[in-house]
Amino acid sequence: MILLASDCLLFQMPNGETIPFSATAISVELIGGKDGVYDIEFVRQVAGAVFHYFKNDLGRFMVTPAEFSDALEQALRNFGWHIESATTLPGAEANPESDLRLLAAEAGRTELLFFPRLRDELRSQLRQSPQVLRFRGLRGCVKQLAGARRWSPRCRHLHDRILEYLDSCLSAEGQKNQCLLLVK
Protein backbone atom coordinates (compact mmCIF):
# COMPACT_ATOMS: atom_id res chain seq x y z
CA MET A 1 0.00 0.00 0.00
CA ILE A 2 1.30 3.45 -0.91
CA LEU A 3 0.80 6.17 1.68
CA LEU A 4 -0.68 9.49 0.62
CA ALA A 5 1.71 12.42 0.99
CA SER A 6 0.86 14.68 3.90
CA ASP A 7 0.39 17.66 1.57
CA CYS A 8 -2.13 15.89 -0.72
CA LEU A 9 -5.85 15.30 -0.89
CA LEU A 10 -7.52 12.65 -3.01
CA PHE A 11 -9.98 14.03 -5.54
CA GLN A 12 -12.72 11.57 -6.45
CA MET A 13 -13.67 12.11 -10.06
CA PRO A 14 -17.18 11.43 -11.40
CA ASN A 15 -15.94 8.25 -13.10
CA GLY A 16 -14.85 6.86 -9.70
CA GLU A 17 -11.13 7.42 -10.24
CA THR A 18 -9.20 9.08 -7.39
CA ILE A 19 -6.31 11.43 -8.12
CA PRO A 20 -3.98 12.95 -5.51
CA PHE A 21 -3.40 16.70 -5.74
CA SER A 22 -1.41 19.11 -3.63
CA ALA A 23 -2.81 22.56 -2.86
CA THR A 24 -0.64 24.19 -5.51
CA ALA A 25 -1.49 21.61 -8.15
CA ILE A 26 -5.24 21.98 -7.66
CA SER A 27 -5.12 25.78 -7.63
CA VAL A 28 -3.29 25.79 -10.96
CA GLU A 29 -5.89 23.39 -12.33
CA LEU A 30 -8.77 25.56 -11.15
CA ILE A 31 -7.39 28.79 -12.55
CA GLY A 32 -6.07 27.30 -15.78
CA GLY A 33 -7.12 29.22 -18.87
CA LYS A 34 -8.04 32.44 -17.03
CA ASP A 35 -5.09 34.35 -18.62
CA GLY A 36 -4.32 36.52 -15.65
CA VAL A 37 -7.85 37.70 -14.90
CA TYR A 38 -7.17 36.89 -11.23
CA ASP A 39 -4.05 37.36 -9.15
CA ILE A 40 -2.68 33.83 -9.40
CA GLU A 41 -0.69 34.02 -6.16
CA PHE A 42 -3.76 35.19 -4.23
CA VAL A 43 -5.84 32.34 -5.67
CA ARG A 44 -3.08 29.89 -4.69
CA GLN A 45 -3.14 31.22 -1.14
CA VAL A 46 -6.92 30.95 -0.91
CA ALA A 47 -6.85 27.45 -2.44
CA GLY A 48 -4.21 26.51 0.13
CA ALA A 49 -6.52 27.72 2.89
CA VAL A 50 -9.46 25.73 1.48
CA PHE A 51 -7.18 22.71 1.12
CA HIS A 52 -6.10 23.12 4.77
CA TYR A 53 -9.76 23.41 5.82
CA PHE A 54 -10.72 20.10 4.21
CA LYS A 55 -7.59 18.25 5.31
CA ASN A 56 -7.09 19.57 8.84
CA ASP A 57 -10.32 21.18 10.05
CA LEU A 58 -12.72 18.59 8.61
CA GLY A 59 -10.21 15.73 8.75
CA ARG A 60 -11.02 14.61 5.22
CA PHE A 61 -8.60 12.97 2.85
CA MET A 62 -10.97 12.69 -0.13
CA VAL A 63 -13.14 15.36 -1.79
CA THR A 64 -14.83 15.78 -5.14
CA PRO A 65 -13.75 18.54 -7.53
CA ALA A 66 -17.20 20.09 -7.12
CA GLU A 67 -16.87 20.24 -3.31
CA PHE A 68 -13.45 21.83 -3.53
CA SER A 69 -14.43 24.32 -6.22
CA ASP A 70 -17.60 25.29 -4.31
CA ALA A 71 -15.56 25.97 -1.17
CA LEU A 72 -12.94 27.90 -3.19
CA GLU A 73 -15.66 29.93 -4.91
CA GLN A 74 -17.22 30.80 -1.58
CA ALA A 75 -13.87 31.82 -0.11
CA LEU A 76 -13.12 34.06 -3.11
CA ARG A 77 -16.62 35.56 -2.96
CA ASN A 78 -15.99 36.40 0.69
CA PHE A 79 -13.08 38.54 -0.59
CA GLY A 80 -15.50 40.32 -2.94
CA TRP A 81 -14.55 38.52 -6.16
CA HIS A 82 -17.12 37.65 -8.81
CA ILE A 83 -16.67 33.97 -9.56
CA GLU A 84 -18.34 31.89 -12.27
CA SER A 85 -20.39 28.94 -11.06
CA ALA A 86 -18.64 25.65 -10.39
CA THR A 87 -21.16 23.92 -12.63
CA THR A 88 -19.05 25.01 -15.59
CA LEU A 89 -16.01 23.18 -14.24
CA PRO A 90 -15.30 19.60 -15.21
CA GLY A 91 -16.44 17.25 -12.47
CA ALA A 92 -19.30 19.46 -11.29
CA GLU A 93 -22.24 17.32 -10.28
CA ALA A 94 -25.67 17.39 -11.91
CA ASN A 95 -27.21 17.22 -8.44
CA PRO A 96 -25.00 19.38 -6.23
CA GLU A 97 -24.34 18.48 -2.61
CA SER A 98 -23.58 20.99 0.12
CA ASP A 99 -21.68 20.28 3.32
CA LEU A 100 -23.59 21.68 6.30
CA ARG A 101 -20.42 21.52 8.43
CA LEU A 102 -18.71 23.84 5.96
CA LEU A 103 -21.66 26.23 6.10
CA ALA A 104 -21.56 26.22 9.91
CA ALA A 105 -17.84 26.95 9.89
CA GLU A 106 -18.33 29.79 7.37
CA ALA A 107 -20.97 31.22 9.70
CA GLY A 108 -18.53 31.25 12.58
CA ARG A 109 -20.41 28.39 14.23
CA THR A 110 -23.23 30.75 15.22
CA GLU A 111 -26.89 30.08 14.53
CA LEU A 112 -27.54 33.74 13.82
CA LEU A 113 -25.32 33.66 10.73
CA PHE A 114 -25.88 30.01 9.84
CA PHE A 115 -29.56 30.13 8.87
CA PRO A 116 -29.23 32.97 6.30
CA ARG A 117 -26.13 31.22 4.89
CA LEU A 118 -28.15 27.99 4.63
CA ARG A 119 -30.91 29.77 2.72
CA ASP A 120 -28.33 31.25 0.32
CA GLU A 121 -26.89 27.78 -0.27
CA LEU A 122 -30.35 26.33 -0.95
CA ARG A 123 -31.02 29.12 -3.46
CA SER A 124 -27.64 28.50 -5.07
CA GLN A 125 -28.51 24.84 -5.56
CA LEU A 126 -31.97 25.72 -6.90
CA ARG A 127 -30.42 27.95 -9.59
CA GLN A 128 -28.91 24.78 -11.06
CA SER A 129 -32.42 23.26 -11.41
CA PRO A 130 -31.53 19.95 -9.75
CA GLN A 131 -33.92 17.05 -9.30
CA VAL A 132 -32.48 16.45 -5.82
CA LEU A 133 -31.21 19.03 -3.32
CA ARG A 134 -28.49 17.35 -1.27
CA PHE A 135 -27.14 18.46 2.09
CA ARG A 136 -24.76 16.29 4.10
CA GLY A 137 -23.09 16.51 7.50
CA LEU A 138 -26.20 17.45 9.47
CA ARG A 139 -25.13 15.75 12.70
CA GLY A 140 -21.65 17.32 12.64
CA CYS A 141 -23.14 20.70 11.77
CA VAL A 142 -25.55 20.55 14.70
CA LYS A 143 -22.77 19.64 17.11
CA GLN A 144 -20.64 22.53 15.78
CA LEU A 145 -23.46 25.04 16.17
CA ALA A 146 -24.45 23.73 19.60
CA GLY A 147 -20.83 23.59 20.76
CA ALA A 148 -21.44 20.02 21.89
CA ARG A 149 -19.17 17.00 21.89
CA ARG A 150 -22.03 14.60 22.52
CA TRP A 151 -25.57 14.52 21.24
CA SER A 152 -27.98 16.22 23.63
CA PRO A 153 -31.63 17.33 23.73
CA ARG A 154 -30.45 20.77 22.59
CA CYS A 155 -28.77 19.10 19.59
CA ARG A 156 -31.98 17.25 18.76
CA HIS A 157 -33.96 20.50 18.90
CA LEU A 158 -31.46 22.28 16.62
CA HIS A 159 -31.47 19.27 14.26
CA ASP A 160 -35.25 19.53 13.92
CA ARG A 161 -35.09 23.32 13.47
CA ILE A 162 -32.61 22.98 10.58
CA LEU A 163 -34.81 20.41 8.84
CA GLU A 164 -37.91 22.56 9.32
CA TYR A 165 -36.04 25.62 8.07
CA LEU A 166 -34.90 23.83 4.91
CA ASP A 167 -38.44 22.64 4.29
CA SER A 168 -39.92 26.11 4.79
CA CYS A 169 -37.25 27.71 2.56
CA LEU A 170 -37.98 25.19 -0.16
CA SER A 171 -41.70 25.92 0.13
CA ALA A 172 -41.08 29.67 0.04
CA GLU A 173 -39.06 29.28 -3.15
CA GLY A 174 -42.02 27.47 -4.73
CA GLN A 175 -39.94 24.37 -5.42
CA LYS A 176 -41.32 21.93 -2.86
CA ASN A 177 -43.08 19.67 -5.35
CA GLN A 178 -40.48 20.03 -8.12
CA CYS A 179 -37.44 18.47 -6.43
CA LEU A 180 -36.51 16.18 -3.57
CA LEU A 181 -34.69 17.33 -0.46
CA LEU A 182 -32.08 14.90 0.86
CA VAL A 183 -30.38 15.71 4.17
CA LYS A 184 -27.95 13.27 5.69
Do residues 154 and 118 touch, judged by C-beta distance below 8 A?
no
Which pLDDT value is given to residue 172? 87
Separation between Cα atoms, residue 139 and residue 157, nearest integer Å = 12
Residues 178 and 154 in one domain: yes
Which pLDDT value is given to residue 89? 40
Residues 123 and 43 in one domain: no
Residues 25 and 83 in one domain: yes
Q: How many CA atoms lie within 13 Å of 182's alpha carbon, on the beta-carbon side?
A: 12
Residue 72 is assigned to a structural domain of this protein: yes
Q: Is the pLDDT of residue 133 over 80?
A: yes
What DSSP assignment string belongs to 140-155? HHHHHHHT-SS--HHH
> Hey, which residues does 62 pair with through a beta bridge?
10
The dihedral sign for the CA sequence 60, 61, 66, 70: positive
CA-atom Rg of the chain in angstroms: 17
Residues 87 and 111 in one domain: no
Residue 165 is assigned to a structural domain of this protein: yes
Residues 83 and 99 in one domain: no
The dihedral sign for the CA sequence 128, 167, 107, 138: negative
Chain segment 135-154, per-residue pLDDT in tens: 999 999 999 999 999 999 99
Do residues 96 and 66 touch, judged by C-beta distance below 8 A?
yes
Q: Is the pLDDT of residue 5 over 90?
A: no
Residues 89 and 112 in one domain: no
What DSSP assignment string belongs to 21-39? EEHHHHHHHHHTT-TTSS-
At 87, the pLDDT band (50, 70, 90 cuts) reads very low
Region 71-96 average pLDDT: 63
At 52, the pLDDT band (50, 70, 90 cuts) reads confident
Maximum pairwise Cα distance, the chain: 53
Residues 112 and 174 in one domain: yes
Residue 1 is assigned to a structural domain of this protein: no
Residue 22 is assigned to a structural domain of this protein: yes
Q: Please return the burial class of 183, using the count of CB atoms within 10 Å of its CB with bins 0-12, 13-18 and 19+.
A: middle
Residues 59 and 122 in one domain: no
Region 32-37 average pLDDT: 47
Q: Is the pLDDT of residue 113 over 80?
A: yes
Chain segment 57-81, per-residue pLDDT in tens: 777 878 887 788 778 878 877 877 7
What pTM was estimated for this model as a whole?
A: 0.51
The boundaries of the domain holding residue 108 are 95-184
Residues 89 and 139 in one domain: no
